[in-house]
A and B are shown apart, each in its own frame.
Chain A
Amino acid sequence: MSTALRRYPVLIALCVAALFMIVPFLIVALNAFKSPAEYSQNGPLSFPDGFYVDGLKDFWERVDYSQKLFNSLLISGFVAILAVALSVLNAYAIGVGRVRGRTWVLAFFVLANMLPQEALVYPVYYLSKQAGLYDTRLSVIIVFTVIQAAFGTYLLSSVLGEFPREIIEAARIDGANKWQILWRIVVPVSRPTLGVLAVFFFIWTWNEFLLPLVMLISNDNQTVSVALGVLQGQRLMDATMTNAAALLGVLPAIVFFLLFQRTLTRGIAVGAVK
């Protein structure tokens, strides 16, 4: 079988490449339970002797990681829900309602979606100080709800633009008003798409760095990404601490990945081609 002989090299090459991609994760796992002494003696590539968890515990308490996780969950959760709601309202008017000038309205949202945060960060920081919202989780929720909804509006408008008109007409003849049509028909039918959007908004917000870094300066309000990034930037961590930080930062991402893997890969494809 000459084809079989030709087949395996391709598989092996791809497996090696895939392994290279996950090596960093493996190294983090390999060193997660080494004591500082062991690490400095045997280096990062040896198998761990014991099961040393004090380093993790110390780090957890030192950065008050429970609080950081709670902040990240709170901010990302609220943004996911609110941004989907805002996207639905916008897209209902544009895609189903076909409001006049909708092309311009949609262009407005697409443009808002493209603006880099660098061009918003200082005014947002300044205005939030004026409004007394600086260094609050609420300010970050508001800003990201709008930023994510820009993308959501753009995507959902084309999805809802293809919504079967007859269903809506039938409901209207039955005497349903626009609110009822939205909540009882459009939202339930589009639930899969809305679920994909919510997952994406959640993960994107969880991963955000620049704006939360500027907006959240007190320890009690910081997200996981900001707290870990700032610590790393200060260059004050030893190898064991860095390793603990890496592990605690990686774990939530792995959990999301396993939970939402199908949604993620499906969603990316939808979002890119729309």
Chain B
Amino acid sequence: MTMTVEKRGVTGKAAPAGRPRRRDSYALFLLPGVLAFLAVIIVPFLMNTYVGFTDWQGVGSPSWTGLANYRELMDDSDFWASFRHSLFMVVAMAAVPTAVGLVLAAALFDYIGKHFGSKVVAVLRACFYLPQVLPIAVAGIVWSWILAPDNGSLNALLKAVGLGSWQQDWLGDPDLALYSVMGVMVWVQIGFPLVVFMAGLQRVDPQLHEAAELDGAGWWRRFWHVTLPQIRPEIYVVLTWCTVAALKVFGAVYVLTKGGPGGATNVPSYFSFTTFFEKTQVGYGAAISTVLTVIILALSLIGLKLQTRAEERA
């Protein structure tokens, strides 16, 4: 908690000429930051928003078309498909990792930690967290190669255990590709919630658990009634972060499937990228990314609100 009591400088009195008031001279330290942000983030963002209302090929000057791009988006089945695939990504990157991460974190923290020591916990946690450090492009290469239809490790494994008939073209079959990408994303993402929740669990007062145990509550009941309510703020943080990350999936789709086969794994980020740089319909691409931005900002704000509310209650 920061102190909210402000020591005001000499307010009301005019500062001596040529010398800025004491409190405001700190503003000089903000100057490089604010200028850099204007140039790199704010100006490009405003440009992008403006271009979304125009027809532009990236050369010459954009011609104003108002809401035409957005009206076109509403009727564009590719656009709707890409956002529908985003929901699948949210399941794979936010819902599943959060649920699994919670159970894993609780099991590691108060079960393994108690009975087998912190060394075992550290090693296990490291195994789960490792994919998080991998560049997503590299994770994509590793999995492309494992999921390859001929001589890929997964199919080779199925054959080796006598399930040869289960072999699939995991990333090349339009009905399967999205689920394969989801599987890869679960693998990539699982470490993040785990680490955050394990840190959060350290805040939980062990006496709460002991009291519940004395009352005869089993492990699952303690998990539901003690652990979960205690780390609610972390749950909101993780859900928000992971949902936003899921909406921005790009590298994995680029490397694994290029949005294919037949658009089966196209996502908004990749869709806007191809619209910008392959079709050079810059105005349309800007409209797609603007919709994505609005959704992300709305979700972030909701997440922040839930988090602060939970922290006040915790």
Q: Is A236 an interface residue (CB 8 A)?
A: no
Say whether B133 contacts A256, CB under 8 Å.
yes
A-B contact pairs, 30 of them (CB 8 A): A27-B146, A27-B153, A28-B142, A45-B153, A86-B32, A89-B33, A90-B29, A94-B30, A100-B23, A112-B37, A115-B296, A116-B292, A118-B248, A118-B292, A121-B273, A123-B44, A123-B47, A146-B37, A153-B33, A207-B135, A207-B136, A209-B136, A209-B254, A214-B277, A225-B138, A229-B140, A232-B140, A249-B134, A249-B135, A273-B200
Give the complex CA separation of A263 and B67 in angstroms. Answer: 48
Q: Is B176 an interface residue (CB 8 A)?
A: no
Q: Is B26 an interface residue (CB 8 A)?
A: yes
Say whether B37 contacts A118, CB under 8 Å.
no
Give the complex CA separation of A155 and B133 in angstroms. Answer: 21
Q: How far is the CB of B254 from chain A (nearest CB, A)?
A: 6
Name A70-103 residues within 8 Å CB distance of B: 86, 89-90, 92-94, 96-100
Q: Is B6 an interface residue (CB 8 A)?
A: yes
Residue in B47, B135, B157, B290 whose Cβ sees the most chain A Cβ within 10 Å: B135
Q: A22-B127, A116-B248, A162-B2 are in contact. Are A127 and B44 (CB under 8 A)?
A: yes
Q: A149-B33, A161-B2, A268-B195 are in contact. Are A21 and B187 (CB under 8 A)?
A: yes
Say whether B289 contacts A17, CB under 8 Å.
no
Give the complex CA separation of A22 and B190 in angstroms. Answer: 12
List chain A residues, Cβ under 8 A from B125. 265
The answer, among A44, A119, A126, A268, for a CB contact under 8 Å with B292, is A119
Q: Is A150 an interface residue (CB 8 A)?
A: yes
List the B residue with the shortest CB-CB distance to A270. B199
Q: Is A142 an interface residue (CB 8 A)?
A: yes
Q: Is A7 an interface residue (CB 8 A)?
A: yes
Give the complex CA separation of A21 and B55 in angstroms. Answer: 47
Say whether A123 contacts B43, CB under 8 Å.
yes
The 10 closest A-B pairs by CB, nearest first: A97-B26, A269-B199, A249-B138, A229-B137, A123-B44, A18-B127, A209-B251, A93-B29, A146-B40, A207-B135
Q: A225-B135, A233-B258, A273-B199 are in contact. Are A119 and B187 (CB under 8 A)?
A: no
List the A residue with the shortest CB-CB distance to B268. A118
Q: A92-B29, A112-B37 are in contact. Are A24 and B250 (CB under 8 A)?
A: no
List the B residue with the shortest CB-CB distance to A208. B135
Say whether B108 contacts A14, CB under 8 Å.
yes
Q: Is A43 an interface residue (CB 8 A)?
A: yes
Q: Is A253 an interface residue (CB 8 A)?
A: yes
Say whether A249 contacts B26, CB under 8 Å.
no
Say whether B300 contacts A114, CB under 8 Å.
yes
Say whether A112 contacts B41, CB under 8 Å.
yes
Give the complex CA separation of A119 and B29 in angstroms. Answer: 28
List chain A residues, Cβ under 8 A from B124. 14-15, 18
Name A108-165 residues within 8 Å CB distance of B: 108-109, 111-112, 114-124, 126-127, 142-143, 145-147, 149-150, 153, 158, 161-162
List chain B residues, Cβ under 8 A from A176. none
Q: Is A239 an interface residue (CB 8 A)?
A: yes
List the B residue with the shortest CB-CB distance to A22. B127
List the B residue with the shortest CB-CB distance to A114. B300
Q: Is B63 an interface residue (CB 8 A)?
A: no
Which secondary structure characterizes the binding site on chain A?
helix
The count of chain B contact residues (Cβ–Cβ below 8 Å) is 103
Q: Is A40 an interface residue (CB 8 A)?
A: yes
Q: How far is the CB of A211 from chain B (nearest CB, A)?
A: 10
List chain A residues, Cβ under 8 A from B148. 239
B70-78, B90-98, B205-213, B231-239: which one contacts chain A?
B231-239
Give the complex CA separation of A7 and B124 in angstroms. Answer: 16
List chain B residues, Cβ under 8 A from A105. 30, 34
List chain A residues, Cβ under 8 A from B112. 10-11, 14
List the B residue with the shortest CB-CB distance to A179. B29
A49-57, A190-198, A240-248: which one contacts chain B?
A240-248
List chain A residues, Cβ under 8 A from B26. 92-93, 96-99, 178
Say whether A45 contacts B157, CB under 8 Å.
yes
Name B17-39 residues within 8 Å CB distance of A: 23-30, 32-34, 36-37, 39
Q: Is A257 an interface residue (CB 8 A)?
A: yes
Say whether B127 contacts A272, CB under 8 Å.
no
Give the complex CA separation of A116 and B199 in angstroms. Answer: 27
Q: Is B163 an interface residue (CB 8 A)?
A: no
Say whether B126 contacts A108, CB under 8 Å.
no
Q: Is B81 an interface residue (CB 8 A)?
A: no
Give the complex CA separation of A121 and B152 in angstroms. Answer: 35
Give the complex CA separation of A242 and B136 in angstroms. Answer: 15
